[in-house]
């Protein structure tokens, strides 16, 4: 049974395996102790295939993880979207979730921006404002604008994205990874209907987290607020 691995993981996996081999040569019990973190490293960088639903108007989860309280919040200032609060869906990834991130909808990337920052617990609301992040603004096929933001967490120290302005992107396509653990925020277009609830588990590229205004949508879930979640 093959386990697909994201290319970002191979250098780190090799380092873990070399360290384990060196420890084994020094003293076999030390080598045994290195087997568990080496296996975890392989598991962390797994990159399973996903099948995006073809439902019109659907906005998909960009990350595996747990949905945090849905709130109204201003989008990142660096994207130039203005101060008007938008509905924000945040997904918290723990160190055991798949960390490959995926595009939430079909469209075109208008802007990307990296901003250095702090490393607060990513399940806290203040992480969206203060933590290191990489933001992307995209225009959907109907002209709506949507933003999504990769945010570093307490132990995350590297955000990777291949997106650049002008890229045509497809829902469910891979665009980056964050190691190790963190969150991804999605700022919805006005009128979009939320279709997930806080505490629900999402699957990147498959779970429908919202639907555009005018699409055939199930019942809208209410908004929440405040900090929450497991600490890292």
Among 219, 225, 200, CA closest to 67: 200
What was the pLDDT predicted at 156?
Answer: 56
218 located within any domain:
no
Residue 74: C-alpha distances to residues 60, 114, 186 (Å): 21, 17, 11
pLDDT, averaged per 10 consecutive residues of the chain (232 residues), comes to 80 90 88 88 89 94 97 95 96 91 97 85 72 94 96 76 96 90 92 97 98 65 38 30
182 is catalytic: yes
What was the pLDDT predicted at 1?
Answer: 52
232 located within any domain:
no
Using DSSP bridges, classify how beta strands 208-211 and 193-194 pair: parallel, antiparallel or unpaired: antiparallel
Same domain, 37 and 82: no
Backbone angles phi, psi at 161, to 5 degrees: -145, 145
- Other beta carbons within 10 Å of 220: 12
What was the pLDDT predicted at 186?
Answer: 98
Backbone angles phi, psi at 42, to 5 degrees: -60, -45
Q: How far apart are CA 209 and CA 197, in angstroms?
A: 9
Same domain, 29 and 81: no
217 located within any domain:
no
DSSP alpha helix (H) spans, 77-146: 126-130
Please, are residues 125 and 226 in contact by the beta-carbon 8 Å criterion?
Answer: yes
What was the pLDDT predicted at 200?
Answer: 97
What was the pLDDT predicted at 220?
Answer: 41
Residue 210: C-alpha distances to residues 62, 180, 197 (Å): 12, 26, 11
169 located within any domain:
yes
Same domain, 137 and 40: no
144 located within any domain:
yes
Q: How far apart are CA 224 and CA 114, in angstroms?
A: 28
- Catalytic residue, chosen from 182, 195, 202, 215, is 182
Residue 141: domain span: 58-211
């Amino acid at each position: 049974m093959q386990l697909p691995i994201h290319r970002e993981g191979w250098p780190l996996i090799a380092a873990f395996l070399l360290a384990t081999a060196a420890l084994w040569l020094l003293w076999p019990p030390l080598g045994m102790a290195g087997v568990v973190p080496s296996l975890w490293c392989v598991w962390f960088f797994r990159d399973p295939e996903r099948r995006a639903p073809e439902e019109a108007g659907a906005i998909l989860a960009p990350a595996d993880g747990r949905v945090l309280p849905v709130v109204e919040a201003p989008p990142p200032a660096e994207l130039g979207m203005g101060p008007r609060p938008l509905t924000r869906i945040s997904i918290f990834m723990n160190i055991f979730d798949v960390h490959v991130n995926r595009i939430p909808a079909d469209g075109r990337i208008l802007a990307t921006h990296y901003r250095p920052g702090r490393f607060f617990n990513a399940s806290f609301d203040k992480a969206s404002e203060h933590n290191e992040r990489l933001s992307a603004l995209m225009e959907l096929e109907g002209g709506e604008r949507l933003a999504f933001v990769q945010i570093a967490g307490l132990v995350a120290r590297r955000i990777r994205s291949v997106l650049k302005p002008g890229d045509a992107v497809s829902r469910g396509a891979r665009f980056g990874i964050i190691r190790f653990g963190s969150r991804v925020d999605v700022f919805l277009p006005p009128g979009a209907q939320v279709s997930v609830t806080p505490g629900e588990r999402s699957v990147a590229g498959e779970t429908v987290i919202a639907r555009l205004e005018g699409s055939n949508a199930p019942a809208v879930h209410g908004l929440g607020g405040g900090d929450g979640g497991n600490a890292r």
